[in-house]
Amino acid sequence: MSKEQTDLKRAEKWTFALTVVSLIAGGTVVAGLVDRWSSSPSDDISVAATSSISITSTPEEISPEDVPEFSYVTPSAVYPTAIPGCESVEAPEEDSFFSYILDGSDTYDDPRFTWFSSVKAAAMSEAVKQALPKDVELKFASPGNSLQFGPISAPSNTDGLPEGFSLEELASTTASGTLIRDGKIGALSLMLHSSSDPIPSCVAGSLVERRVLADQSVVDLQDTWSETNGVRTLGRSAMLYGVDGTRIQAYVNDTNNDGGRNAESSGVVPLTLDDLVTLVEMPQLRITTPVPPGTAPLSPGCHGIPRDSGDVAELDRATIERLNAVLEVRWRAVPPGFPILDAGPGTLTVSENDRSTACQRLLTRTGDSESTLNMTITGGQPLPKEPNKYDPSYYGHPLEFVTRPDGSVIERDERDYSTVPMTNDGSKAESTQETSRSVVVTRPNGTQVSVSSSAAIPNDPMTFAQLEFLATTEGLEIR
């Protein structure tokens, strides 16, 4: 296989790998691509060999009997053929297995990739949202599912990289969201990385059109379908090979899979090929485009506390806006000595891991002391039962348990712990001692507000009184 063909097949594989990676937040991802082949040019489908994808905490835990099998079917390539924009078309070749591991060390400020940062991600995210067609709605969701580019995902070191792949190519940032157009829903994903490889040759079955932009960058377009375990998905993609080394793939399909496990097909892809070209050709997405002065860094996404969400409905935009308005009023009435926020108080968003929970994460400062403030608000929670401190199973937490006259329960707790960050080369850095204080208020109507503050010693977290002032705010209700 030629170098150019290899590069194009890498591009094709981004779509499938992106789907796999989007299923995991943190931990280790073991992703694989199946071998595909065509029996003859006259056949109308190409059947994937039985293969598997396993998502697990460590590769050593995988056992053959635990690995589920799946089938992946795509249209076969017709060859010989002509493709608009291609001077020549090469015959398709058998794909090879492809896999890589992410170790959860994603960051916006990886010094190995100087073209990317939090402010660059903010500028790109806003540009993509503004470039969507006017009649396309971006479904309200958490930041991570609202076309916000995430941190760079890259292996911590170059050991064990797939043959023919460089760290540069596997270091990518992605954005995804659910789109609605004319009542039809679909999922859009973008993946961006850099590469010094040449623009690949045209290969039958890999694209339906090639366009050359004014700056001689190339965009390859694909309009096709695939079947996974017998379920058909329609999909379109645009892959940009920028002359400055930018590589962008925009992929959109006809499913409602916006973070849930059950994807259903709408039968209509919400973006045209021209729409996708408009997205990938934007100068704001090029790795060499400077960030506009004054661009604010992204507000970090947040995660709720693991719990049973039961039948609590997903939060909508109106609910989040109402809760933020309540908090803004509360912060204007804080007593003297309250810490200063690094951002405005009205930054609640939908949790990345629970769409029925609102959350926010802020940095706070009191004099020279710095701490992190986390707040979660959810509904449908039962009133906790007071622990029996004389029960042998009682482990000392929470420190205090108070039932208020209105029936609300307040739990106060404090913990000391150590954190050991991972470095880019996979080694452990020096541990940090931290203290965390929390106040959790559960109301009889099921609303639960959790406010916690953590700080690395010698910094001090917020006091219980300050946390309780926020947690007992009237109006923070999930109805």
B/e letters for 3-35, b = 16+ CB within 10 Å, e = fewer, are ebbbbbbbbbbbbbbbbbbbeeeeeebbbbbbe
Residue 463 vs residue 261, higher pLDDT: 463
Q: What is the pLDDT of residues 230-268, one digit of tens each?
A: 889 999 999 999 999 999 999 999 998 654 455 678 899
Query: What is the average per-residue pLDDT within 303-312?
Result: 67
Place of tokens 């969507």: 132
Query: What is the average per-residue pLDDT within 274-281?
Result: 98
Q: Residue 98 — very low, low, confident or very high, per pLDDT cuts 50/70/90?
A: low
Residue 25 vs residue 324, higher pLDDT: 324
The yes-or-no verdict on residue 350 having pLDDT over 50 is yes
Q: Residue 61 — very low, low, confident or very high, per pLDDT cuts 50/70/90?
A: low
Q: How many CA atoms lie within 13 A of 455 on its CB side?
A: 18
B/e letters for 444-455, b = 16+ CB within 10 Å, e = fewer, are eebbbbbbbbbb
B/e letters for 264-300, b = 16+ CB within 10 Å, e = fewer, are ebbeebbbebebbbbbbbbebbbbebeeeeebeebbb
Q: What is the pLDDT of residues 194-221, one digit of tens each?
A: 998 999 999 999 999 999 999 999 999 9
Q: 144: buried, middle or exposed (CB in 10 Å: 19+, 13-18, 0-12)?
A: buried
The three-class DSSP label of residue 439 is strand
Q: What is the pLDDT of residues 105-161, one digit of tens each?
A: 567 888 888 899 999 999 999 999 999 999 999 999 999 999 999 998 777 666 666
Q: What is the pLDDT of residues 364-376, one digit of tens each?
A: 999 889 999 999 9
pLDDT-above-70 percentage for the chain = 76
Residue 417 is which amino acid?
Y
pLDDT at 424: 52
Measure the N-to-C terminal CA separation of the chain; round to a whole number of Å: 59
* Spatial distance between the Cα atoms of 116 and 298, rounded to a whole number of angstroms: 13
453 contacts: CB under 8 Å, gap ≥ 6: 364, 371, 372, 373, 374, 436, 437, 438, 461, 462, 466, 467
The yes-or-no verdict on residue 28 having pLDDT over 70 is no
Other CB atoms within a 10 A radius of the CB of residue 400 amount to: 11
- Identify the weakest region by mean pLDDT among 143-147, 228-232, 291-295, 307-311: 307-311
Place of tokens 């492809």: 98
Q: For the packed helices 317-332 and 464-471, what is the interaxial angle rounded to 10 degrees?
A: 140
Q: Work out the mean pLDDT of the chain and round it to a whole number.
A: 81
pLDDT at 270: 97
Output Rg (C-alpha) for the chain, integer angstroms. Answer: 25
pLDDT at 265: 85
C-beta separation of 138 from 132 below 8 A:
yes
Joined together, the tokens standing for residue 129 give 């949202």
Phi, psi of 411 (to 5 degrees): -115, 125
Query: What is the average per-residue pLDDT within 278-307?
Result: 88
State the DSSP code for 320.
Answer: H
pLDDT-above-90 percentage for the chain = 57
pLDDT at 43: 35
pLDDT at 448: 95
